[in-house]
Amino acid sequence: MKYSKLVELYEKISSTTKRLEKIDYISEFLKELKEEDADSLYLLLGEIYPDYDDRKIGISNQLAIKAISRATGIDEKKVLQQWKKMGDLGKVSENFIKNKKQTTLQTQTLATKKIIDNLRKLPELEGQGTVDKKLILITELLSSASPKESLYITRTLIGDLRIGIQESTIKSAIAKAFFSDKENSEEIIQKAIDLSNDLKKVFLISKNKELKKLEDVSLEIGKPSKVMLAQKAESIEDAFEKLGKPCVIEYKYDGFRLIIHKKGNLIRLFTRRLEDVTKQFPEVAEYVKKYVKGDSFILDSEAIGYDKKTKRYLPFQGISQRIKRKYDIEKIS
């Protein structure tokens, strides 16, 4: 599929603030979308992978500025000045590419697959020369892009797509495109998305109009899923009103949600934001091996810090900083 086709959809979605119109545009796009181009669904949300995959593009504004400079031949300082003036690096890229195209008359057709392939290489790059390698991949795309294409490529790179749609909009569009005659289709689609965390998987099943197969989508060990969050109550009376009687009440510990996946000897730990924190909490994996019987399971738990000397639980801040930690993990644990 040509990337310009996706850009057309971006433009249509951006042209309206009405949710129903956005749903209509996406619905028509989905009807024509071929199975081999299904990865473009991730791009609609400014991503390159499904939600359960924690790899991100991870390009800074500064690196994007360097790439725009290389692709257009414009000095970095001038790109920076325009960004400060306009507040949108995508628009800056679009304007500079537009001027370049007028002088070079260069035209190339960019495929959506090429965009995804190049962007997916970015998180994999490590070690010496990483910055230059990333610049080559990004510059290649911007040099081949039309002005409008460069606008959305740049915004995707820095995680700021600005087209005003959420996963729920795509859910409604899938329902309209493939199950317009089924009343409860949106609810079934939402459940399938929550359990799989993969729009592409849900789209492929929906395209074949297999509503029953959508109902069969279930949790998979090793893939994090969205968890239900606590609902707030104004008072004890309000809580009983919402939950009914009798109900079980327990203390809320000051920790963080930890979802534990185990299959055989493989153990993976995820936060409620779907982050893989297995490496950050090696002692939890050891506790699971030692104390939890079962070969295959998913546990929904709360991780709480504990001070052996004072025999008191630690505040949330005492353990939350470990979620992003990369070094000295064994010592801290």
Active site members:
252
25 contacts 36 by C-beta, under 8 angstroms: no
Distance in angstroms (rounded) separating the CA atoms of residues 80 and 208: 48
The residues pairing with 42 across neighbouring beta strands, listed in sequence order, are none
Side chain identity at residue 273, one-letter code: R
The residues pairing with 307 across neighbouring beta strands, listed in sequence order, are 312
The residues pairing with 313 across neighbouring beta strands, listed in sequence order, are 306
CB-based burial of residue 17 (10 Å sphere; 0-12 exposed, 13-18 middle, 19+ buried)? exposed
178-184 long-range contacts, CB within 8 A, separation 24+ = 178/30, 178/31, 178/206, 178/207, 178/209, 179/206, 179/209, 179/211, 182/211
Q: Residue 270: enclosing H or E segment and its boundaries? A: strand 266-271
Nearest to 164 by CA among 51, 18, 47, 31: 18
CB-based burial of residue 3 (10 Å sphere; 0-12 exposed, 13-18 middle, 19+ buried)? buried
